[in-house]
A and B are shown apart, each in its own frame.
Chain A
Amino acid sequence: MPSSEIEACLQGDRRVQRALYERYKGKMFAVCLRYASSYAEAEDICQEGFIRVFRDLSQYDGRGPLEAWMRKVFVNTALQHLEKQRRRIQTEGLDGVDVAEETEMPLLEETPPADRLIALLQQLPPGFRTVFNLYVLEGYTHAEIAEILGISVGTSKSQLLRAKAHLRRLLEKSLVE
């Protein structure tokens, strides 16, 4: 992305901001869907993620593709969102908390495979889902995940194993049906 467009975004030029949004909305919303437990939650993450991107665009130093930088912003936004959710569960209890519903998603044959996989991911508990996303799809190591999430390396590994086991069960179940 040319620096002039970045500058225009920082100056609040709605036309350029809209163009940036249109260019990356698909990929970024897909990232949000993977981390969120519901479509509505993904919307919130995506909304906040784009606001952060426009606010912090001055921090993009031009090294590497803009998409990779934006992806990091969205992943961080999603992680913070999940952390807020976790704290709310701790302070207010489970009553009234928007826990991912264990609803059976209709995984029809004509559903694109990516959407089917996202639907499966959204059925994972948040901890499993986060570690799986960071390890498998973002390419972080367990040590990096442990540092990002403030957990031990062992916990990261065990969460990944349990996430994969959970996903296998869900996949088998969906194939049987």
Chain B
Amino acid sequence: MKEKYSRDPLEEYFRKTLDQHEATPPQDLWNRIESGLPSPSTLPAQPWWAPYRFWLLLGAVTGFFVLAFLLPDSLLHYWGAVSPQDSSALNEEGLSSDAWKRSSTPKQVLADSLLSTSSSPAPLFIPSVKDRVATSRHWPSSPDDTAREKKKATFLHSTPRKNALSPTSKRQLDAPAAEQSIPVQLSNEEEDTAGYVKHVSEESASAEVVDEEIQRSLLSFIPVKPSTLPRSKIAADPRLPLPYVRPGRLPKGWSVGLYAASVFTPATTQLPRGGIGPKRLPFVVQSQPPQAAWEGGVRIQKRLGIHWGLEGGISYSEHVRTTAFSSRFRFGDGRHIMDGGHPHSRRGYDHYLSTPGGSGAVELRMEPSNHTDVVQPGEMIQLKAQVSEYVAFLRIPVLASYAIGSGRLFGTARVGLVAEFSLRNDLEISSIISENARVRLVPGFKPGLQWTPARTLSVGYWLSAGATYRWSRRMSISAEPTLTRQLARQDIQGRSLPNPASFGVNVGLLYHW
């Protein structure tokens, strides 16, 4: 703004006269403004975080992964304590629960294996959970071991593997101050984890167990945490931290997961349909940024093996999708309307809209803005309309899943069918504004809409692929980009409807047993 005003008397006169001038607008102006405003019912209550939802989702996923990597080893290595069943079984054979824990903790087992001088080393047990046994080689060496094996029939002792800890490797261990690499194979029916104990010397042993499969795979970037095992302490203090052992791939069993997804559907949904109205296509969809819909649900999975699984579930989604689009047609395309002061200048138009939620007939009435100024039939009219579509549905997916890789982080892919039950499908016209100054909507007239909803049930397909991170024996998190598309949608009168693909990211929290 300029600081000083001109001394031109003409300017001063205009400025003084018009500075605080007020004029009276026409009586019906408020009605016209009101018809152009989104109706309050179409304004969804936006929570404070709504504008940041994408970044919050991204941050939450990243946070999960970072947290999982930063969890202390104690949470990652040896889950839980002896289960009540284990304790009772052991008490039956006369071992106290504490004794069982002490004698059978993985640290003790490894210590025994490393330090044993007998020719028949004790089996490697990792007994923190029921039926969980890790063994390098099974040589029953003591009555306790034999009794334990009999009592705990559910234990599965793996067959010795070529990399199993052997007397040869123990002899190598005895070599003074020599760095060794001793393979250790830990396996049971739930886990399948291979590793090596590295750098073992006479007086101290810095141990590092590395997943053999991970070493060979693309996932070798996962950091391996070394720990030091002073040999003098191994025997004395069995609670020392053990080498790092990763949880392996999930074997047979069940998983249940809570999922949340942000689903984006492109706004190519409002399309003109043939039928009543102008011959030319009236509506031209404007490009709009995709709007996210939130979906939440639960899925249960039966793991058929280490790779394949079957799962089903249910999810719910509800949102309001707002789309702005413009229509361009000729004034003369409409029919004459005789109900008003200007019978030869008012025209009515009917259009069909078709959206994934249904189809609708929209009725419009237009007239010249200035009644003394005749609008020619060939003149183009341009309207800008905003519609709000209310959608709520239940989804029931039936999926086959495939897991790839091993270790804590592994890939998952799913494919299957999705049944979608529509709970609500409404469409409202929020506003229609004439983009032409010469033509306007008839004052006081609200565009009518006759809405025919889509059929309640539709079927589509599901494709997804992503990553699952297993941060404890029981819990995993997963993030999966997902593509879904409904097939051959129709409204209740049998008219076909568009079926755009939806893209989203499913984030899940899973519990395994």
Contact = CB atoms under 8 A, between A and B. Distances in A.
Contacts, number: 116
Contacts of B23: 26, 29-30, 33, 114-115, 118
Q: Is the interface of B mostly helix, strand, loop or mixed?
A: loop
A12 B38 contact: yes
Contacts of A113: 17
Given A26-B22, A38-B370, A44-B440, A11 B43 contact: yes
B34 interface: yes
B425 to A, nearest CB: 23
Given A12-B39, A14-B40, A164-B11, A44 B369 contact: yes
A25 B370 contact: no
Interface residues of B, number: 43
B26 A43 contact: yes
Contacts of B25: 25-26, 29, 43, 46
Interface string B29-59: 1101110111110010000000000000000
Contacts of B15: 136-137
A17 B433 CA distance: 18
Contacts of B373: 98
A75 to B, nearest CB: 13
A62 interface: no
A139 B3 CA distance: 8
Interface in A1-57: 11-14, 17-18, 21, 25-27, 29-30, 33-34, 38, 40-41, 43-44, 46-48, 50-51, 54
Contacts of A84: 435, 437
A85 interface: yes
Contacts of B369: 40-41, 43-44, 98
Nearest to A13: B40
A168 interface: yes
A12 B21 contact: no
Contact of A167 (B10, B17, B21): B10
Contacts of B375: 96
B92 interface: no
B24 A29 contact: yes
B30 A51 contact: no
Nearest to B31: A47
A117 B8 CA distance: 16
A171 B375 CA distance: 33
Interface of B: 1-2, 5-6, 8, 10-11, 13-15, 17-26, 29-30, 32-34, 36-40, 43, 369-370, 373, 375-376, 379, 431, 433, 435, 437-438, 440
29 contacts: A13-B40, A21-B33, A25-B29, A27-B20, A29-B23, A29-B25, A29-B29, A30-B18, A30-B21, A30-B23, A33-B23, A41-B369, A43-B29, A43-B369, A44-B440, A47-B29, A47-B33, A50-B33, A98-B438, A113-B17, A117-B17, A118-B18, A132-B14, A136-B6, A137-B14, A137-B19, A139-B2, A140-B1, A171-B10
